[in-house]
Amino acid sequence: MALSTIPLVINTIENCYKKICVIGTGDASKALFEYFKSNTHLDVIWKQQDDGQVLLDEDVDIAIFTFPFKEPAQVVGKGNVYSVHYQSLLRNDIENPFWDIYENIIPQLLENDVNVLIVTSPRLQGYQPKIPLIFSMLLFRFIIRFSKKRDYYLLKHFDELEIYDEFMNTKADKSKGYVRVFGNGKKINYDDGFRRIPAEKVQIHARKIFLFGFCMSANPMLPDDSTIGACLQKSAAGQYRVLSRGNDGASINLVMREESYNKGDVVVIFSGHRDTHAHLSGADIVDLTDCYCSIKKLWLHIADSSFHCDASITSKVAQKIWSHIDRSKKEKRQSFAGKDEVTLGNFNRKAPMLSMVDPKVSDFVNAVKQEANELGFDCIHGRGGCIVMNCNPFTLGHQWLIETASKQVDFLYIFVVQEDKSYFKFEDRLEMVKMGTIHIPNVAVFSSGSFMISSATLPGYFDKKHLGNIAISASIDLELFVTMAQELGISTRFVGEEPNDGYTNSYNLAMKRLLPRYGIDFVEIPRKRSEYINNVISATYVRNYIEEGKVKEAKHLLPETTIQILEKRNLLK
């Protein structure tokens, strides 16, 4: 195994753990050890097999990789908390997530004043006499054909065949070691690989409720407004922001480790386990049995398992969870003056290598790098900056932002959003930016391609009018960015302040939180004000003026170069 063939999931692991032990012999284990060792933020050890047993006396928060042996090595000691066979990484089927959750993650969260609830599956076997015999067969999944018929019945009963089509059109990606789902339609939408939760009246800095677990935390076959997350958001009434991190796969612990938390946040874990580990973890337990048994003709509201259910159940489950959170909040009377960030694993993250992502990204980066080199940009030793902007259209505010940023770095990349979902076409916006920055010697203007603020990386951006203050992690968009940034010599990302646009403000907050962890500075520059409108300059004002035929007013907010382009295109009449 060469470094160029190391999969993306390895990057996930090195960012999720502070200590890693590689166990094995041969070139593959050596290459993996050397890769991990290149990360200065990791404590890495490499152990050989010794008489079929490897003894570890390390701290418990450690990931262990074992390679195949003729006789599998037995790993003993405190360190054996999260043990992974290397082949299982390649199959994206990582084992033992709840061991890691109960032994490591939950204690760390509780110690840092993050509240944890474990939601266990309902005990329905005791209620078999009250429901048809066919349901008892369903509980044990004896008849696959029945499950399929039940799915069809539910869809037909709720007249939601459109939802079924949208569900079938979603795509799953397992490259990071856990499942991320992509797809956006009229009723089912995903952001950053997880279910979108509508949030209109939530303050941008509200504390958060995270939903982790399998399908119950995402409800993949329900519309956005009927998921448990959406129902819980309504119950929270603006007190919290609810984030779905449901993962239809085994590696829930990796999803949890990649998040960052604040004191006073709530973590809800949906677990099918009813074992003692949950009760010994120190977390509060929420039993859903009474929720399910209060539903009349329960068998009509679930599909092939109790966690595959309709809105009648999700609303009751959300009410139960919220009542527990609300009661616990009043009993504990927690008050947090600050917003201390709680992270699991490494705070300082390593960006994925270019070879770990889509080859098209590599082609894009190489093309940009070649042009940058021709312009004299020193991508290795110089200090590079970057602005990703839509410029719909290019205003005096955009021009001022670029001029201000260009004075703080040796060279500045401007990436114009290529997605053609704006008022002005991409070709026009690109020309506006190029002509409006031609007087700045250390600036180069490029297309963003489909890799920065696109429908693939940040789909909500193009529907932000209807999303309000929705919370986004922007992890997909920003992880691609940091991968490209390390190749292009970008050490600073500049943005303009966004006081009015809730979605863009949420995106800026995500950058402010995440980029410094990859060693990239985040600089927010105050917006330029206009005396003419006695407010900050905004492209929205310009578009409104143009729509209203107020050409004179629009021109007050535009540089001469933009005016000339718009007049040439007959777009400014």
Residue 348 within a domain:
no
Residue 573 within a domain:
no
- Of 343, 375, 400, which closes a domain? 343
- Assess whether 57 and 184 both reside in one domain: no
- Of 343, 371, 395, which closes a domain? 343
Residue 14 within a domain:
yes
- Assess whether 246 and 330 both reside in one domain: yes
For residue 441, which amino acid is it? P
Q: Using an 8 Å Cβ cutoff, are 116 and 280 in contact?
A: no
Peptide bond into 129 cis (omega under 30): no
- Assess whether 263 and 406 both reside in one domain: no
- Assess whether 426 and 487 both reside in one domain: yes
Residue 513 within a domain:
yes
CATH of residue 466's domain is 3.40.50.620
Q: Residue 256: which pLDDT band, with cuts at 50, 70 and 90?
A: very high
Determine the pLDDT at residue 470: 64
- Assess whether 13 and 127 both reside in one domain: no
Determine the pLDDT at residue 129: 38
The DSSP result for 503-568, as a single string, is: HHHHHHHHHHHHGGGGT-EEEEEPPPEETTTTEE--HHHHHHHHHTT-HHHHHTTS-HHHHHHHHH
Find the helix packing angle between 161-168 and 144-157, rounded to 10°: 120
Least confident of 402-406, 427-431, 456-460, 549-553: 456-460
- Assess whether 71 and 210 both reside in one domain: no
- Assess whether 338 and 358 both reside in one domain: no
Stated as kind and residue range, the H or E segment containing 180 is: strand 180-182
Distance CA 353, CA 482 (A): 10
Q: Using an 8 Å Cβ cutoff, are 238 and 201 in contact?
A: yes
Euclidean distance between the first and final Cα of the chain, in Å? 62
- Assess whether 116 and 74 both reside in one domain: no
pLDDT tens track for 70-111: 444 555 554 444 555 444 444 444 445 777 788 788 999 999
Residue 31 within a domain:
yes
**Residues in CB range of 548: below 8 A, 6 or more apart:** none
- Assess whether 237 and 163 both reside in one domain: yes
CA distances from 561 to 146, 401, 555 (A): 67, 16, 11
Q: Using an 8 Å Cβ cutoff, are 520 and 511 in contact?
A: no
The percentage of residues in the chain with a pLDDT greater than 70, rounded to a whole number, is 76
Question: 412 — alpha (psi -120 to 50), left (phi > 0) or beta?
Answer: beta
Q: Residue 370: which pLDDT band, with cuts at 50, 70 and 90?
A: very high
- Assess whether 330 and 461 both reside in one domain: no
Q: Minimal CA–CA distance to 300: which of 445, 441, 132?
A: 132
Its pTM stands at 0.84
Highest average pLDDT, of 202-216, 275-289, 334-348, comes from 202-216
- Assess whether 164 and 285 both reside in one domain: yes
Residue 483 within a domain:
yes
- Assess whether 216 and 287 both reside in one domain: yes
Residue 158 within a domain:
yes
- Of 316, 343, 370, which closes a domain? 343
Distance CA 560, CA 573 (A): 15
| Domain region containing 31 | 3-91
Q: Minimal CA–CA distance to 59: which of 81, 29, 28?
A: 81
Determine the pLDDT at residue 130: 46
Residue 188 within a domain:
yes
Q: Using an 8 Å Cβ cutoff, are 79 and 101 in contact?
A: no
Q: Are strands 384-389 and 266-271 parallel, antiparallel or unpaired?
A: unpaired
**Residues in CB range of 378: below 8 A, 6 or more apart:** 410, 411, 489
Question: What's the domain count of the chain?
Answer: 3
Determine the pLDDT at residue 141: 42
